Amino acid sequence: MNEHDSLLVLFLVSGILLAAIFYFLYRSTLNAAADSEGLKAPLKKRFITMLVMAVFFIAALAVTLPKSPYFSYADQAPSKVIHVGARQFFFIMSNKEIDPENPSGETDIEIPKDQVVEFRVTSFDVTHGFGIYNDKAELVTQTQSMPGYVNILRWKFAEPGKYSILCLEYCGSGHQVMQSSFTVK
Ligand code: CUA
C-alpha cells in the first residue's frame, strides 16, 4: 500500500466512524423515554460516546502529528540552505541571505539530489504560500511565506529534474501568475 492509498483508507475509516457516531447519537435520542431510566442511561451513553471520540482523536493525532513537515529531517544538518523571499507577485530565491531593503536573488538555483536541503521562507509584503511541485504537477511539500517570520522547510529530493514553485495562498490580483522554479541534480 503506498502513501496515497493509506491516506485514502484513513479518510474512509474516519468518515465511516464519524457517520457511525452520528447514527448512534440519532438512534439514541429516538426512544429515550421508552428504555431509559430517567437521565442516567443517556448520560452514560454520552460519556461512552465522548470517550470513544477522545480515544479516536488522540490516536489520530499521535499517528499524524509526527509526520508534520515541521519535524522532517529535524535531526539532520542540511547540505544546502536556500533563502526565499516572496513578494507580490514573484519569488526571490538565493543561495545567500536576502537583504529586505534591496531584495535580489538568483534564477538558476540548483539543489543536490538525495541530500537534505533547507528553505528559509519569508515574505516582504503579505502572506503567500510556498508550494513545491514536481514535473508531474504533484505537490511535493509546502510551507507558508509570512511577513515577519522565517519558516524553515527541510526536504530531500529523490528525483532529479525541474521543480516548480507556485503560490498557495490567495495574495492579490496577480496570485495565479506567481511562480518560480529550481533544478534538482
Ligand atoms: Cu502569492 Cu498568492
Atom of ligand 1 at shortest range from CA of 88:
1
Q: Kind and range of the H or E element at 81?
A: strand 80-87
Nearest to 130 by CA among 111, 102, 149, 113: 149
**Residues lining ligand 1, CB < 6 A?**
86, 128, 167, 169-171, 175, 178
Regions of the chain with pLDDT less than 70: 31-39
CA 133 to chain centre: 14
Predicted pLDDT at 30: 75
Atom of ligand 1 at shortest range from CA of 145:
1
Nearest to 134 by CA among 160, 164, 104: 164
Give the pLDDT confidence of 139-183 residue by residue, as tens digits. 999 999 999 999 999 999 999 999 999 999 999 999 999 999 999
Predicted pLDDT at 32: 58
Q: Specify whether the CB–CB gap between 119 and 152 falls below 8 A.
A: yes
